[in-house]
């Protein structure tokens, strides 16, 4: 049974569709990479999956035990977010509240945050100001925060944007390791070649729509299926 099913989705704003007739499904343990040209609707899709904006039409359904509060999200960072005045530990712990206000964290919440900081290799940075970290360190912090909010699925919007090649490679390795542990991953990426190394499936959005396995995508791309874009 699929964790996520999208049927005949139309995505956009103010009644203007960017993408129409979008159909795909995600099974537990899949690693789906979403690709396409700038402005093709990739980030709009991510926001729609997170229920931050409604679809113009179509249906999104969850299954196999997946609920909204079991999905973690790592968004693209803005300059304001990079300068956020909080410690690493405070930001990671904020992922445990699941969007609900709680003045105090439980011992279990604190333990979960500590576990995910350890997983991301940032325990030594716990008391440091987030704004003083490098771009790669900040992404590890945000990934640890997302893991505090998720135990089934991660949605990642350009997680390596602005990172140097070495840090980019380290980030992809972290994501691949989480996938090997059983996490379902949906990731937007502009770096198709690097992202596809670990992908099980590809969703291509734009003038041409495609959903299928990585091998199917490579065969279609090789046949010139996407050259019209």
Mean pLDDT computed over 65-76: 88
pLDDT value, residue 225: 58
% residues pLDDT > 70 (the chain): 93
Mean pLDDT computed over 145-173: 91
How far is it, in rounded angstroms, from Cα 205 to Cα 45? 9
Residue 102 confidence class, pLDDT cut points 50, 70, 90? low
pLDDT value, residue 179: 95
pLDDT value, residue 37: 85
pLDDT, mean over the chain:
89
Delimit the domains of the chain by residue range. Answer: 78-150
Residue 218 region by backbone torsions, left for phi larger than 0, else alpha for psi between -120 and 50, else beta: alpha
How far is it, in rounded angstroms, from Cα 97 to Cα 149? 7
Tell me the pairing of strands 57-62 and 2-13: antiparallel
Mean pLDDT computed over 180-195: 88
Residue 103 confidence class, pLDDT cut points 50, 70, 90? low
**Both tokens assigned to 106:** 């439980």
pLDDT at 228 over 50: no
Question: Which of residues 159 and 223 earns the better pLDDT score?
Answer: 159
Q: Burial-class residue 65 by CB neighbours within 10 Å (0-12, 13-18, 19+).
A: exposed
Please report, in angstroms and rounded to a whole number, the separation of the first and last CA atoms in the chain.
33
Q: How far from 35 is each of 5, 52, 54, 134, 180, CA to CA, in Å? A: 18, 20, 21, 26, 22
pLDDT value, residue 82: 75
- pLDDT tens digit sequence for 38-55: 888 999 999 999 989 999
pTM for this predicted structure: 0.88
- Judge contact between 91 and 142, C-beta under 8 A: yes
- 3 state DSSP class of 177: helix
Mean pLDDT computed over 161-180: 92
């Amino acid at each position: 049974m699929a964790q996520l099913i999208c049927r005949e989705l139309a995505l956009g704003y103010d009644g203007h569709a960017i993408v129409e007739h979008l159909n795909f499904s995600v099974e537990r343990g899949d690693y789906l990479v979403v690709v396409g040209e700038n402005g093709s609707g990739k980030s709009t899709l991510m926001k729609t999956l997170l229920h931050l904006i409604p679809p113009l039409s179509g249906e999104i359904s969850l299954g196999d035990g997946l609920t909204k509060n079991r999905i973690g999200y790592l968004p693209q960072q803005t300059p304001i977010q990079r300068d956020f005045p909080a410690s690493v530990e405070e930001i990671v712990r904020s992922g445990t509240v699941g969007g609900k206000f709680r003045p105090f964290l439980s011992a279990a919440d604190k333990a979960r945050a500590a576990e995910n900081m350890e997983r991301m290799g940032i325990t030594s940075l716990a008391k440091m100001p987030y704004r003083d970290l490098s771009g790669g360190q900040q992404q590890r912090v945000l990934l640890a925060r997302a893991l505090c909010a998720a135990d089934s699925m991660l949605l990642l919007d350009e997680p390596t944007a602005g990172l140097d090649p070495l840090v980019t490679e380290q980030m992809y390795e972290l994501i691949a390791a989480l996938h090997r542990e059983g996490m379902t991953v949906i990731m937007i990426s502009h770096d198709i070649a690097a992202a596809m190394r670990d992908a099980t499936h590809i969703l291509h959005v734009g003038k041409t729509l495609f959903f299928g396995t990585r091998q199917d995508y490579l065969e279609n791309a090789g046949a010139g299926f996407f050259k019209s874009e």
